[in-house]
Structure 1
C-alpha cells in the first residue's frame, strides 16, 4: 500500500483504532515523522496528543545503524547481539547514552514548552510513528511507558515489516496495530508518495494546534 503522505496514513490508521474513540486515550507520537500521523489519529479518536522522545544509538563509524535506543527517563535498550558482533566498547555506549539523554531533554523543552507532562498511569496509551524498520526506538519508548503503569499500551503505525511486528509483540507484550505489513520491506519511506522531513516547527505547531483545538467533543462535555 502506498500512502499519499503521513496525514493520510494517520487518518487510515485512526480508522483501525476506532475502539479507542472516546475512552480518554493518550496518543504519544515519536518525533518528528510520527507527529503528523499521530495528530490525525488523535483527531479521529478525540484523544490527547503528546510526544515520547527516544534517541537512537548508532554504531561506531555507521551512525545510521542502530545498536540501541535511549528514552527520556533513562531507559536504555541495546541490541546485545549486534553490540557483541561489532565489538562495541562500553565506554562508547556510555558516551552515546549521555549525549542522547542531553539531546532528549532539549527536544522535550523544544516541543512541549510549558505544557505539563500528561498522565499515563491508568490510561489507554497509543504510541504512534510513521512506520517501523528495526523497531528499537519504539521498543525503548514502550518499555519506558510500561513502567508508568498504563491501563493498556498499544503500538500503532501505518506500515511495518512482519518480523518487526512479531518481535515487538513478543518483547513488549503490547498489541501492534498496522495498516500494512509488507513481506518486502526496505525502508519506511518507500510506502509514502510524500515522505519529506518534518521540521521542529511543524512538530510544535501540530502539538499546539491539537492542544488548542483538538478533542472538540470532550471540551463540549466538560
Structure 2
C-alpha cells in the first residue's frame, strides 16, 4: 500500500506530527542517505537546524551482518557485550574492525558536510529521522549514538515502519511513526517515488539548511549605516559583509487564482536567473533540483525553485501532465521575475526535468524571445508538440545513455526544434541520473550552457567566460 508520493511528501506529513517540537532546543538529524530529504523538509517546516547522524555497524569478522556494536562521530562507541562474548571476539579483532569502520565513517562525514561543523547535541533534543524502518538495527544504533553525543532527549521519527522494530527502540524516549502496516515487506513499497539519494544531494540539503539558519541569525540591518554607532555599526557591517548583495528568500507568486510557493536565490553580480520546471509533480524541495541549483549558483547564476502546482492541486495527478497549464504558469512566473528589482534586468533561462521539460519548451516558444536558453535533463521535450518549431532559445538536451526510450524521443524532438540545439548523452545514466557522478555531470553541463547563453544575452560574454573558467579551474561543482 503506497502512502507517500516521495520523501518530500513524507517529510511534510511527518512535520505535522512533530509540531510539538517547534520552538524547542532540538536538532533534526537525518540518517544518510534516504533519511536526509525527509529530515530536510521537517527541519524547514519546524524552523529547526538540520544535520546528519552518521553511524557504522561493527560486524563480527566471521559474520559481518551480525552487529557486535556500532560507532558514531565524536569517538562514540556502543558495544553489544552479549555478541562479543558469544563470538569470543579478542580485543585486537575489535580494534581492527573499528579502525576500518572509523575510517569509512570519517570519509562519509567529509563527503556529507564538506567542512561544516557538527551540530552540538549536548543537553538538546535529538530528532532522528529516516525514510523508513525495517529491521531497526540502524535506528537503534543512531538513537544510542545521539545519546552518546550528549543529547538530553532522543525522539525517533519515521514515515513508515515495521511494528516489531518500532517497539524495539530502547534508545529513544519517544517514537513517532505515521504508518505501521500489518506486514512490512519493503519500505520502498510505501512510496510512489523511492529513488536513491546521492551524497551530493545530501550535501546540497545540508548547505541549504545552513544558509537558512545563517539568514535567520542575522539581526535587522540599521536603516542608514551612517546612523550606526558602536556595536550597531559593527552589526551592520557584519551583516552587509555576510550577505554581500545576495538574495536568498522564500517567495509567493500569485498566478491567476492560485499562489505558487518558491525559493529565489540570486548570488552577487549574477549573470542571469534560471527557473526550474520540475517534472512528475516534484517541487522546490526536490534534493536533485536543489543540487543542480547549487551548482548553477556557484557558476554565478540565480535560481528560482518553485512548486508549479498549489497544494490543493497536487493530489490530482492529471495536473502533473497538463503541459499547457504548467507552461502558462512558467510564463506568469517569468513576468513576475521581470517585476522584481533584483531580477528584472537579468536574462532568464528554463531548466526542465521529465514532463517539466515539455512545459519549459512550450513556454519558451510563446515567450516572444524573452527566454535566453533552455536545458532539459532527462526530459520529455516531445510533450511540447508542434510548438517545438517555434522555440528559438538555444536548447540543451541532456539524456542518460541507459534511458533508451527517452533518448529516442529527445532525438526526434531535437529535429523539430526551431532554434540552435545540442543533445548530450551521459553514459550509464538512467532516467533520474541516480548513478554515481551522473547528476553532477548533468549539472555541470547545464551550468556551462546557461553561463554561455545567459551571459551572452546579458551582453557580458567576457565576464561569463571568465566565471566559467574559474569554476572549471576550481572544480566548484564537482
TM-score above 0.5, yes or no: yes
Equivalent-residue separation in structure 1 for 2:81 and 2:9 (angstroms):
33
Contact 1:125-1:150 at 8 Å conserved across structures: yes
Question: Does the aligned pair in 1 maintain the 2:58–2:71 contact within 8 Å?
Answer: yes
Taking structure 1 as reference, are residues 45 and 78 closer, same or farther at Cα in structure 2, changes over 3 Å only? same
Q: Residues 166, 196 of structure 1: CA spacing in aligned structure 2 closer, same or farther, 3 A cutoff?
A: same
* Offset, 1:22: 2.1
Corresponding residue number in structure 2 for 1:195: 194
1:138 maps to 139
Distance 1:66 1:3 in 2: 31
Q: Which residue of 1 aligns with 2:176?
A: 177
What is the DSSP-based 3-state SS (H/G/I as helix, E as strand, rest coil) of the residue aligned with 2:24?
coil
DSSP-derived class of the 2:158 partner = strand
Counterpart for residue 42 of structure 2 = 41
Which ranges of structure 2 fall in alignment gaps of 5 or more residues? 221-478
Query: Which is higher, the Rg of structure 1 or of structure 2?
Result: 2
Give the distance between the partners of 1:173 and 1:128, measured in 2 at CA: 12
Question: Structure 1 residues 13 and 79 mapped into 2: Cα distance closer, same or farther (>3 Å)?
Answer: farther
| SS across alignment from 1:172 | coil
- Take 1:221 and 1:17, find their aligned partners in 2: how far apart are those partners? 28
User: How do residues 6-21 of structure 1 correspond to structure 2 at under 5 angstroms?
Assistant: 6-21=7-22
Match of 1:149 in 2: 150
Q: Distance in 2 between matches of 1:185 and 1:142?
A: 22
Task: Tell me: CA distance 1:185–1:57, structure 2 relative to 1, closer, same or farther (3 Å).
Answer: farther
Q: Give the equivalent residue in structure 1 for 2:345.
A: none
The equivalences for 1:117-136 within 5 A come to 117-136=118-137
Q: Distance in 2 between matches of 1:191 and 1:59?
A: 32
> 1:187 Cα deviation (Å)?
2.2
Q: Can you list the C-alpha shifts for 1:125-164, whole angstroms capped at 9, x where unaligned?
A: 2011111122222211211221333232101111111111
Q: What is the distance in 2 between the residues matched to 1:181 and 1:112?
A: 32
Distance 1:81 1:177 in 2: 29
Deviations 1:15-47 (A, max 9, x none): 110011122321011111110000011011100
Residue 213 of structure 1 deviates from its aligned partner by 2.5
Maintained 8 Å contact 1:77/1:136: no
Instruction: Give the root-mean-square deviation of aligned CA atoms.
Output: 2.7
Contact 2:161 / 2:187 at 8 angstroms: preserved in 1? yes
Question: Residue 109 of structure 2: SS of its match in structure 1?
Answer: helix
Query: How far, CA to CA, are the matches of 1:220 and 1:22 in structure 2?
Result: 18
Instruction: Label 1:60 to 1:49 Cα distance change in 2 as closer, same or farther (>3 A).
Output: same
Q: Secondary structure at the match of 2:168?
A: helix
In the superposition, the TM-score normalised over structure 1's length comes to 0.84
> Number of residues paired by the alignment?
216
In structure 2, the partner of 1:30 is 31
Structure 1 gaps of 5+ residues are none
- Whether the aligned pair in 1 keeps the contact of 2:33 and 2:197 (CA below 8 Å) is yes
What residue is the counterpart of 1:186 in the other structure? 185
In the alignment, the residues of structure 2 paired with residue 92 and residue 187 of structure 1 have an alpha-carbon distance, to the nearest angstrom, of: 34
In structure 2, C-alpha distance between the alignment counterparts of 1:62 and 1:201, rounded to whole Å: 32
Distance 2:17 2:198 in 1: 27
SS in 2 for 1:118: coil
Contact 1:54 1:71 in 2 (8 A): yes
Q: Distance in 2 between matches of 1:71 and 1:123?
A: 17
TM-score, normalised to structure 2, is: 0.41
Check whether the contact 2:76–2:148 (CA below 8 A) recurs between aligned residues.
Answer: no
Q: Does 1:76 align with 2:78?
A: yes
